[in-house]
Amino acid sequence: MERKFKRIGVLTSGGDAPGMNAAVRSVVRTALQNCVEVMGIQGGYRGLIENDMKLLGPHDVSNIINEGGTFLYTDRCLEFKEEAGMQKALKVAAENKIDGLVCIGGDGTFRGAQDMSRRGLPCIGVTGTIDNDVSSSDYTVGFDTAMNTVIEMVDRLRDTCESHARCNVVEVMGRDAGYIAVNTAIATGATGCAVKEIPFDEAAVLEKIKLAKTYKKRNFIIIVSEGMGGEFGEALAKKIEAETGVETKFARLAHVQRGGRPTLRDRVAASRMGAHAVELLLEGKSNLIVTETDGVISEKDIEWALMYDRVYKGKAKPEEIAKLDPKVYEEMVALAKIKRDKFVELYELGNSISI
């Protein structure tokens, strides 16, 4: 019997994340071990539309497991979202004899993978986003490195805050999700943390600072998630200074969080997820994303994962919910509650052990 998969493609798409290279390396090495060729597609879905790709040998992925960024480059390709662009991509994939695709990125990337799977090209998604905002997975590749970058930067800010008796409000990435904020707030001993998911008790934070001043605490760190909106952090810094008398600076860490050498956690997660994606394709599976749940690497249906994400984020419309099997919806609501409770627990821990 002729083997179905002779050649697969791999691409990185959307926002870059440390560990994407490690994931590509794992995809390439796993495929080659199974006598399947790998086409490295450059610049995300744009490379598929523009036929910008090359075959990757085992040595093309040498010395990249330790590198940040993505050597395949990435892009946000609007043309791909249109039917004409997608048809062009499918045609180019067929011309290049690509039998299946591994798409590394976030939710947007998975929507593209879903669209192509539905049109007959098997696709498997691998998480690659610093934000950890793929609700169906406990972990996304890049998250740990980004958080370690944040704590390194904030530790430095704390040093200078201590010298000058200052407060620093620090805005961290995460899009609408507060995972980076909540975790780094704990790890940096922040006095306060503001995330979109939980109402921010500004009065309580101001009181905490005023009280801590009385027993001569000199440095204060407040972590703010970018989901709070562009002006929030700066306005909060002004308010803290005005209300507490502590000189307060504002810092937006921005894209520094996206770069750097991936941590062990990200290299291992990327290696496990990349290999699993290839195994799924070789088993004839499609339209799945590779996830990590309680430390176990497995997979979820993309349709399920994207809908669950909307349920978790409170974005699911009544007409979408009506189309779901009530049992499936119930299960999503129950899982979302467990996930949300864990998040709130972390947030509260951070608040309760900081002064």
Instruction: Catalog residues that contact ligand ADP under the rule CB under 6 A.
Output: 13-15, 45, 76-77, 80-81, 105-109, 111-112, 115, 129
Token duo for residue 283: 């088993």
In angstroms, give the least distance from the CB of 64 to ligand ADP: 20
Catalytic residue (one of 131, 133, 144, 266): 131
- Please, which residue, 37 or 266, has the CB nearer to ligand ADP? 266
The Cα 308–Cα 321 span in angstroms is 10
Helices 232-244 and 202-214 pack at an angle, to 10 degrees, of 40
* Count of all residues that appear for the chain in the document: 355
**296-301, strands of its sheet edge to edge:** 53-55, 37-41, 7-12, 100-105, 123-127, 288-293, 296-301
Token match 């972390």: residue? 346
Q: Count Cα atoms within 13 angstroms, Cβ side, for 49.
A: 18
- Please, which residue, 45 or 250, has the CB nearer to ligand ADP? 45
In angstroms, give the least distance from the CB of 61 to ligand ADP: 21
In angstroms, give the least distance from the CB of 292 to ligand ADP: 17
**166-172, strands of its sheet edge to edge:** 192-194, 220-225, 166-172, 247-252
Token match 């994207």: residue? 306
Query: Following DSSP, what letter does each residue of 272-335 receive, concatenated?
Result: HHHHHHHHHHHTT--SEEEEEETTEEEEEEHHHHHHHHHHHTT---HHHHHHS-HHHHHHHHHH
How big is the chain by its Cα radius of gyration, in Å? 22
- Please, which residue, 30 or 109, has the CB nearer to ligand ADP? 109
Instruction: Indicate the residue whose CB is closest to ligand ADP.
Output: 108
The residue among 227, 233, 230, 159 whose CA lies nearest residue 189 is: 159
- Please, which residue, 107 or 144, has the CB nearer to ligand ADP? 107
Biggest CA-to-CA distance, the chain: 79
Residue 159 known to be catalytic = no
- Please, which residue, 112 or 233, has the CB nearer to ligand ADP? 112
In angstroms, give the least distance from the CB of 166 to ligand ADP: 35
Token duo for residue 65: 């497991």
- Please, which residue, 83 or 95, has the CB nearer to ligand ADP? 83
In angstroms, give the least distance from the CB of 74 to ligand ADP: 8
In angstroms, give the least distance from the CB of 216 to ligand ADP: 45
Q: Which residues are catalytic?
A: 131
